[in-house]
Amino acid sequence: MKLDTKHKQLPLDFKPKTSHIRAGTFHKKDAVKEALKKAISNSALDRESVARELSRLVGEEVSYHTVNNWIAEGKNNRRFPLEYTAALVVITGDMGIFESAMGPGMRLMSDSELPFYELGKMVAEEKKRRKQKKAIMDQIEGF
């Protein structure tokens, strides 16, 4: 199918690659807010200390009131900025903030988990190659 570049219009039969995903699947606002609240309350720091350390790490002023607004039930128009996520994970030690924003089939892993993933991938590839090698050897006469 060729796109009509002259009129800058998508054809009527255009189907995005996301058409199989249920509408609203990525509505994560409440999950992020809940994870943020949990991470802060479970940390050893109070909200004021979290705000101060977050300000230091991101290089922008983040007040105690801003942190409160991010997690307040009635403040739906105050969202936590994505670019602060890594800093807050480091401060609180809670990866739940990242995980709450992830979509279906998406996962995160820490640096310490990465070698286990890499090893598992290598083992699976070796198993596949052994199976392919056996199939080829079976085709060759005399083996």
The ranges assigned to domains in the chain are 29-101, 109-143
Query: By the 8 A CB rule, do 97 and 39 touch?
Result: yes
Query: By the 8 A CB rule, do 29 and 79 touch?
Result: yes
Q: What is the distance of C-alpha 60 from the center of its chain? A: 23
Query: By the 8 A CB rule, do 31 and 101 touch?
Result: yes
Q: What is the pLDDT of residue 11?
A: 60
Return d(Cα 108, Cα 96) in angstroms, integer. 10
Return d(Cα 89, Cα 40) in angstroms, integer. 10
Q: Per the structure block, which two tokens stand in for 20?
A: 């199989």
List the chain pLDDT tens, one digit each, 143 residues: 555 556 566 566 666 777 777 778 778 888 889 999 999 999 999 999 999 999 999 999 999 999 999 988 877 778 889 899 999 999 999 988 888 888 778 888 888 999 999 999 999 999 999 999 999 988 887 65
pTM strictly above 0.75: no
Q: Per the structure block, which two tokens stand in for 75?
A: 């403040």
Residue 87's alpha-carbon distances to 8, 10, 16, 83, 120, in angstroms, are 41, 40, 34, 8, 30
